[in-house]
């Protein structure tokens, strides 16, 4: 890293694609793992599939990982001298996945009753070993790759530096679960409106970008599948489609207008949302107005703006206090 004057005090968003590193890490960590018990044996022989996103990011001196991986382990083994082949699929290995949330789909070739005991061995012995290894992945990922996204203060040359800025390693982003679908009994007409106001210690320009930049949106939604097209008539979809819509108007650094809906709404019903960014001396005030709601969606949606938008943005980018 020969030049650093463009990222004074590590203020700007920097990211590194770590897929190649992660593939090698999984190969070195998991291939060769073995378990034996009660006449059965099993071994991971290959990383057969490795799809998804793995990024290490830096913003304002904070280094953190964002990843979502779909992985297959090829396995071989024996049950009472019967040779067995198969695979273990882990459909989601994510930066915010808890240990008890991992799913292990086990497939045995030409499975029959004689081969079935190997599944018990995998579940009881091999799966806990895999989980214990996965627990180290995020820490190892950040430590191995932070040097490519973070500039230590002593290497800042050619401009003033903030000597109190410290790297924060291994800090897992505050976990926010995706909004869950639930049955709601609605009342009245779609004529309710809500207003919200919050403060962020950044500029209107940067906050506007946080709402529209696809990479930043994936960061604060904690989901690599979140999409947004940052243009008028551009579509967006967050949290597996629980929130979706399209952009109707953009005024750079000042306002974003949306047609916005959640899955529970009737088909083709969209609410109108306006985000107004008001720049003050040391902060930006965000005013949100949303119309076209009805009871009880108005209170649910109002709460979700804070829990799923404002607070994750503050914790991900260090731009405010979580209330």
Is the distance from CB of 265 to CB of 248 less than 8 angstroms?
no
Based on the fold, state whether residues 241 and 296 are members of the same structural domain.
yes
pTM equals 0.49
CA distance 66 to 273: 28
Q: What is the mean pLDDT of the chain?
A: 83
Report the 3 state secondary structure along 221-284: CCCCCCEECCCCCCEEEEHHHCEEEEEEEEECCCEEEEEEEECCCCCCCCEEEEEEEEECCCCE
Based on the fold, state whether residues 191 and 138 are members of the same structural domain.
no
Q: Two tokens at 10? A: 């590590």
Based on the fold, state whether residues 219 and 93 are members of the same structural domain.
no
| Final residue before a domain boundary, out of 145, 175, 209 | 145
Domain contains 286: yes
CATH number at residue 215: 3.30.530.20
Please enumerate in sequence order all residues whose Cβ is within 8 A of that of 248, keeping only pairs 6 or more positions apart, or say none: 232, 233, 257, 258, 259
Based on the fold, state whether residues 107 and 211 are members of the same structural domain.
no
Based on the fold, state whether residues 9 and 126 are members of the same structural domain.
yes
pLDDT at position 149 is: 63
Total domains, the chain? 2
- pLDDT tens column, 48-74: 999 988 888 776 667 788 888 999 999
Nearest partner of 218 among 313, 148, 284, judged by Cα: 313
Domain that holds residue 248: 187-317
What percent of the chain has a predicted confidence (pLDDT) above 90? 52
Domain contains 112: yes
Domain contains 175: no
Domain contains 195: yes
Based on the fold, state whether residues 126 and 42 are members of the same structural domain.
yes
| Final residue before a domain boundary, out of 145, 170, 200 | 145
- pLDDT tens column, 193-245: 999 999 999 999 999 999 999 999 999 998 888 999 999 999 999 988 889 99
Domain contains 182: no
Confidence band for 159, pLDDT divided at 50, 70 and 90: very low
pLDDT at 10 over 50: no
Domain contains 311: yes
Domain contains 171: no
Domain contains 258: yes
């Amino acid at each position: 890293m020969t030049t650093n004057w463009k990222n004074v005090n590590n203020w700007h968003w920097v990211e590194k694609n770590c897929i190649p590193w992660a593939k090698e890490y999984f190969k070195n960590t998991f291939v060769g793992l073995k378990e034996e018990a009660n006449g059965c044996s099993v071994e991971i022989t290959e990383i057969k599939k490795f799809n998804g996103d793995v990024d290490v990011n830096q913003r304002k001196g904070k280094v953190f990982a964002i990843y979502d991986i779909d992985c297959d382990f090829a396995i071989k083994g024996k049950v009472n001298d019967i040779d067995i082949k198969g695979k273990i699929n882990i459909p989601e290995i994510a930066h915010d996945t808890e240990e008890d949330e991992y799913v292990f789909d086990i497939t045995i070739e030409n499975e029959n009753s004689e081969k079935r005991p190997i599944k018990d061995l995998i579940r009881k012995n091999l799966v806990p070993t895999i989980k214990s290894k996965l627990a180290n992945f995020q820490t190892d990922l950040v430590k191995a790759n932070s040097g490519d996204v973070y500039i230590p203060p002593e290497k800042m040359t050619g401009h003033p530096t903030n000597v109190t800025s410290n790297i924060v390693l291994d800090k897992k982003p505050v976990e926010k679960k995706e909004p869950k679908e639930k049955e709601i009994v609605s009342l009245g007409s779609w004529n309710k409106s809500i207003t919200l106001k919050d403060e962020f210690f950044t500029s209107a320009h940067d906050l506007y970008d946080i709402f529209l930049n696809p990479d930043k949106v994936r960061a604060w939604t904690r989901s690599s599948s979140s999409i947004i097209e940052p243009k008028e008539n551009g579509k967006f979809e967050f949290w597996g489609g629980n929130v979706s819509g399209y952009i109707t108007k953009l005024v750079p650094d000042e306002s974003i207008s949306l047609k916005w809906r959640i899955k529970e709404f009737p088909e083709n019903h969209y609410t109108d949302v306006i985000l107004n960014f008001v720049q003050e001396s040391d902060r930006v005030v965000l005013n949100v107005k949303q119309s076209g709601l009805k009871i009880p969606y108005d209170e649910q949606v109002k709460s979700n703006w804070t829990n799923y938008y404002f607070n994750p943005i503050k914790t991900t980018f260090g731009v405010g206090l979580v209330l």
